[in-house]
Each structure stands twice: as structure tokens, then as C-alpha cells.
Amino acid sequence: MIGPSAPSRQIPALDGIRGIAIISVVLHNATGIALAPSSRWLHVLPLVSSRGWIGVQLFFALSGFLITAGLLDSQHARHYFRDFYAKRALRILPLYYSVLLVLLVVLPHFIEKLPYSLDRQAPLWLFIANWTKSFPYGFTHFWSLAVEEQFYLLWPLLVWKLAAPRLLRACLWIALGALLLRAVLAALGIDWWTIYSNTACRMDALALGGAAACVLRIPALKEAACKRQSQLLGGALLVFLAGVPLTHMYDNGRWAGETLGYSLLAASSSAFVLWAAMSGGHASGAARLLSFAPLRSVGRYSYAIYIFHNLLHQLVGEPWLVARFGKLPPLPIAFLYALVVFAVSYVAAFCSYHALEKHFLKLKGWFERG
């Protein structure tokens, strides 16, 4: 859900991580409908796709890493705040507001009966929909974009005056605070969606991604991490696998999943990002797989794919699917449909990037650190 930035262009494996994350999210959302019963072995597919939301946690860890790395490297720049906010605005806002303008302002003047309501749209324009929990139909996935924007707004203030060692400690405390906050809210009976979409509750992935960036800027820690890259990757996998039985396969509708589960995913995702950043995409077979050109291409356009996919699914694809196959589409048809949603979203993202986004990205050169 974040666009190309300097570190990911230099390290192909990071674009591969984006590709994995967006594929899992699209599969999750496009198959999040009632399905007809199928053979036992096919039941594995809905189980896997239902956990595709984990891709968002991976996005958050990667965002925390890249944003913190850039901020640490520009701490002493003359226009630290101006340059950061300008570059983020050029990356995020043109496509975001273009989509809102077309769907919520322009189309209602030409189409009398739309498949979505025009009510409750103000939080979308202000990037606060994750707090108000009010979305026009089809726009629910914009909650994570609101989390990202709130993170972009506040994080530079924290990083500005902190050296990497102190920032690392702050990141770890923030991650712990997010876990404790979720535990308290869950104990009070707060609904799962509030915990899932609340910025403070999801700060552990963003903060631990930031901690990973700090590790690479503390010589002793960087040297230790570089010497243990394979152990780092293995540790990330072990933490993830340990969470499977502990959280009922990361069921975020249960107490363990929405408390400990998010923390384990934040830790494993951040370790995975740190390993990929150090690998440079060439050190191992796993890193070369992340550097696979088609996967990197998906990662490159992941922001626009994220914007488009659920709008296409809920406003166009799902009504057609139900009309064609009934309220319980067959499982194989549903997953074939999910692949079509992904392919159409990729094409739309490709066109969006080259017709709109890249022209604004060229303006980022005016705000690059000298």
C-alpha cells in the first residue's frame, strides 16, 4: 500500500515482499463471500485465503522500515519535514483523490442509480475512516490507507531528534504498548473490527518495521545481523509458525489472535523485511525468488492494485458472480474469479501508474535530500 521509494528500488527483494502482500490481500478480499460446499481437499483454499489479511501486517512492517530509514537518513536535512510530507503527498494523494473524485463526485452526475451510497464519505476525504468506521459500500479497505496516513503524519515528529539507538528503544516500547492496548480493549469486550482497524492497536507492525531500520544504522547490531542472516530468516519463520497453534491459525476474531497474534505477525514480518533488506536480492535462493521479475512488477504497482481491487470486486464483480452462479458460487469458480479480479486490478494499476502517478512521482526530485 506504499509506492516505490528509494530503498525498494535499490533492493529488489523488498518489491517482492510487496508483491506477496498484495496477492494475499486480493485473494482474501475477493473470496470473502459465502461459497458452496466442496470436496474436503478444496476446503484448504478458503482457510488460506481467509488469512490473507496478514498481507496488511506485512505492508505495515515494510512501511515502517522504509519510512523510518528515509527519515533517519534525512534527519539533518534543511527541509526535513517539508521534503518528507511533500514526497508522501506526491506518492499517495493523486491516485487516492482521483478515485474519490471520479466515484463520489463525477459519476453521480451521470449515473442515477449507483451500487454504493454517497453518504458517510467525509471520513474518506479526511483519512479518518478507520476511526469513524463509516464507509460507502466498496471502500472498506481504505481503512488501512487511513492508518498509513496517520502514521506518516506523526512518525517524523518522533524520529526528528532521536538517534537510532534511542529510536530503537522507543519502537520496542511502542510495540509493547500496542499489545497491551489490544489486550485491555479485548478484555473490555471491544469488537474485533475496532481493534483491527485502530491505528494505535496496529502500531506494533509499523514500529517494529522502524526498529528494523534502526538496526541497520547501529554498527554493532548491523554487523551481528549481517553475520546471522540465515538465522534471522529462520527465526522469522519460527515465530510465524509458533503463532499458528497459539492463535488458532491467526484467527483475529478470537482473543489470542487479536492480541498476541498481531504481535507475532509484526515481529516475524519485521524480521523478514530486515532479512530481505540485508540480502540485496542476491545472497540466497529465497532472496532471488523475491527478486523474480513478475513478483517485483506486482509489488511495484501494489498501491494502485490495493486501491482498485476491492472496488472492482464489490461494485462490479461480486454482483455479476451472484447473478451468474447464485448466492453460493462453487469454490473453484470463486477462486478463478479472484484471479480475474487480481489480473484486472493489475492492468488498471499499470495504466494508472503510467498515465497518472509517475508524472507526480517525477516531482519528488524537487524534494530529494542533497
CA 159-133-54 angle, 5° bins? 60
Grid cell digits, residue 28: 482474501
pLDDT band at 203 (very low <50, low <70, confident <90, very high): very high
Q: Is the pLDDT of residue 172 over 80?
A: yes
Question: Is the model more confident about 6 or about 289?
Answer: 289
Residue pair 232/269 in contact (Cβ under 8 Å)? The answer is no
> All 3 cell numbers of residue 336?
478463478
pLDDT at residue 223 above 90?
Answer: yes
Number of H helices, E strands in the chain: 21, 0
Average pLDDT over residues 158-166: 96
Cα–Cα distance, 87 to 92 (Å, whole number): 9
Please tell me the pTM assigned to this model.
0.94
- Band of residue 46 on the pLDDT scale cut at 50, 70, 90: confident
Joined together, the cell numbers standing for residue 363 give 516531482
Averaged pLDDT for residues 165-172: 98
The H or E element that residue 98 is part of is helix 80-101
Distance CA 145, CA 143 (A): 5
DSSP of 155-180, one letter per residue? HHHHHTT--HHHHHHHHHHHHHHHHH
User: Would the pLDDT of 370 be above 60?
Assistant: no
- d(CA 347, CA 74) in angstroms, rounded, equals 35
Q: What is the mean pLDDT of residues 161-179?
A: 97
3 state SS for 42-66 = HHHHHHHHCCCCHHHHHHHHHHHHH
**C-beta separation of 265 from 240 below 8 A:** yes
Q: All 3 cell numbers of residue 96?
A: 487516492
- 3-class state of residue 247 by DSSP: coil
Give Cα separations from 101 to 49, 108, 125, 331 (angstroms). 31, 10, 10, 35
Cα 152 to Cα 71, 174, 204, 306: the distances in Å are 11, 16, 15, 18
C-alpha cell at 202: 496496529
Q: Residues with Cβ < 8 Å from 275, sequence gap 6 or more? A: 229, 232, 233, 236
Sign of CA dihedral 134, 313, 300, 46: positive
Instruction: State how far the alpha carbon of 336 is from the alpha carbons of 165, 306, 319, 321, in Å.
Output: 48, 19, 16, 11
Q: Which cell goes with 163? A: 538517534
Q: pLDDT, tens digit, for every residue of 173-192?
A: 999 999 999 999 999 999 99
Question: For the segment 76-113, what is each residue's pLDDT rounded down to a tens digit?
Answer: 999 999 999 999 999 999 999 999 999 999 999 898 88
Structure confidence at residue 341 (pLDDT): 97
Q: What share of the chain has pLDDT > 90, as a percent? A: 79
Taking residues 358-364, report their average pLDDT.
95
Taking only the tens place, the pLDDT of each residue in 248-263 is 999 999 999 999 999 9
- pLDDT at position 282 over 70: no
| Coil, helix or strand at residue 326 | coil
Q: How far is CA 240 from CA 17, 53, 57, 209, 265, in A?
A: 16, 14, 12, 16, 6
CA–CA separation, 98 vs 110, rounded Å? 17
